[in-house]
Amino acid sequence: MSNTQSKVKRTPKEYVTLFLTFFKIGAFTFGGGYAMIPLIQKEVVDNHKWVTADDILEVIAIAESTPGPIAVNAATFVGYKFGGFWGAFCATLGVVMPSFMVIALLSSVISHFQDYKVVQYAFYGIRAGVLALIVKAMINMYRKCPKSPVAYFIFAFSFVMVALLNMKVIYVLIACALIGLAASFVVKRREAKK
């Protein structure tokens, strides 16, 4: 990415278009994150040509390797490239707004509905269905993850620490990042010696 900030001067109307585009992206993706990527590509690269096809791959790679929801990361990045801080602000606000409004409106309904017997039965079934979706997500992640002894160790370590020993998740994640860093360092030293 040679040009990290847009040199183009944007008009207020263009910022509104940016906001509305990401509002649309936020409103039409269900299940979050990865489902959003094709729509972002279509809107941002094909329709509006705010970033190039190469740049969007970079954006997605960075969105995946920084903390936070992928959709929010991608919106902030594209918005920044579009028009600096306020571009980032408009795009992020746009992508967050639809879910915020829908859930804020639904929240009272959700808690009241749970008193009905039929809803309780429905959620009894749904919870088993959600469990299947989580298992599926784990299988997908496993397929994408590089397989190495260190990776298997971290997988086992993080599971035992959090699931069985009830350690604080944040500390375990920091420890895993440091183990990964240390392992990469050892590999680098070994290669340098050769």
Identify residues 99-128 at the interface with another protein (CB under 8 A): 99-100, 102-104, 106-108, 110-111, 114, 117-118, 120-128
Binding letters toward another protein, positions 131-170, x by CB under 8 A: xxxxxxxxx-xx-xxx---xxx-xxxxxx-xxx----xxx
**Interface with another protein (CB under 8 A), residue from 14, 182, 189, 191:** 182
According to CB under 8 A, which residues from 38 to 57 bind another protein? none
**Minimal distance, residue 7 CB to another protein, in Å:** 14
Q: Which is nearer to another protein, 47 or 107 (CB)?
A: 107
Asked if 9 is part of the footprint of another protein (rule: CB under 8 A), the reply reads no
What distance in Å separates the CA atoms of residue 28 and residue 32, rounded to the nearest whole number? 10
Half-sphere exposure of 111 (CA within 13 A, CB side): 5
Which residues does 40 contact at the CB level (< 8 Å), separation at least 6? Answer: 25, 56, 74, 75, 78
What distance in Å separates the CA atoms of residue 79 and residue 26, rounded to the nearest whole number? 14
Residue in the structure block whose two tokens are 């298997």: 152
